[in-house]
Amino acid sequence: MVNLQTEFIEFHKAIKLSYSSNTELCEKRETLLKKLKENMPDEAASFDHFNQGSYAMHTGIKPNDGDYDIDVGLRFSINHLDYPDPIAVKQWVYDALEGHTKSVEIRRSCVTITYQEEGEDAYHVDFACYADENDKLYIAKGKRYSEDDKRYWELSDPLGLIEKMEKRFSDKDDRAQFRRIIRYMKKWKNVHFEISGNSAPTGIAITSLAYYMFSPKYENNIVDNKRVYDDFHALKSFVEQINSAFKYQYNSDDAEYYYTIEQNLFVEPYNDLFKKMSMKQQDEFHSKIVDMISKLNDAEKKEKKAEACAIMTEIFGEEFPVKTDRSYVGHSESASCLKK
């Protein structure tokens, strides 16, 4: 097939979310942290903070809807057993930030502060609240009006998650390809799934699949002994591994067979990251994976870059760069142009 590495790198630059260059979002995080320290209620425990999520793991992508987010963990010096209702701890954060914007909300796993521009959500900062006990962290779960069984503390290891992702590949170039593949898959998800609800695999589910299934793909250049990375085949191999992880199972509730998948998080609480998806939703995920493999196989057979790139836009949307082939009498040449 034609070599698409240049196009993949260009695509990656287009979708990569660089928090270091998004100064406005970082400034909002710092403003909120300052406000938290100044306005915490008297009964609140002392705390410190750390970055978490895709921001800390370097796997974030630009959102389709323009609503940028950043995840921050708050470690409170408390024993979770002393606070049987974890919402009380979230309430400290809510009370300190209420009124800062029009939208401060206690969600299931965090307290979210949303900023708007021209009436549309533009940025939000998620504060996850943890009880810090002898290097063990327990995250506060539940909403303000949740039933009692929906309010609980859950053992969690967000810092271990970041560390394991950083150490998954010792070679920095292997690690860079690992992160690129995760970003490609997140972009594919955003193009082909409804983001709301549980119909789409989560970002952490894709990340966990990659942690276990991704293998770097490259060739060694014998001239300068440098690795030449191949993102196309790294992606194709990874997606084929995902496909092989599905099982064909019978659902007695509706007397149907579905392709289902399980993948546990690789740190505590080691939960199944596809549990919230119904069997039918998992089956639909499988169908989209199969369709993606089919398109990748088609692209692999193409001898013209324009034809291969056109297929990639079906997978990833129009942000993937397209090559236009121009023919002349007696010869032909290809000119590169980014599809707008």
Mean pLDDT by 10 residues, the chain (340 residues): 96 88 80 95 96 94 83 97 97 95 93 84 90 95 95 97 98 98 97 88 97 96 88 98 98 96 97 97 98 98 96 97 62 39
Predicted confidence at residue 20, as pLDDT, reads 66
Domain locations along the chain: 23-161, 168-301
Q: With CA atoms as reference, report the closest residue to 151 among 138, 134, 133.
A: 138
The one-letter amino acid code at 46 reads S
Measured CA to CA, the distance from residue 247 to residue 227 in angstroms comes to 36
What residue spans of 40-153 are helical by DSSP H? 53-57, 87-97
Predicted confidence at residue 339, as pLDDT, reads 39
The one-letter amino acid code at 129 reads C
Measured CA to CA, the distance from residue 38 to residue 52 in angstroms comes to 23
Measured CA to CA, the distance from residue 238 to residue 44 in angstroms comes to 46
State the CB neighbour count (10 A cutoff) for residue 289. Answer: 20
Q: What is the pTM of this model?
A: 0.91
State the CB neighbour count (10 A cutoff) for residue 257. Answer: 11
Architecture of domain 23-161: 2-Layer Sandwich (3.30)
Predicted confidence at residue 328, as pLDDT, reads 38
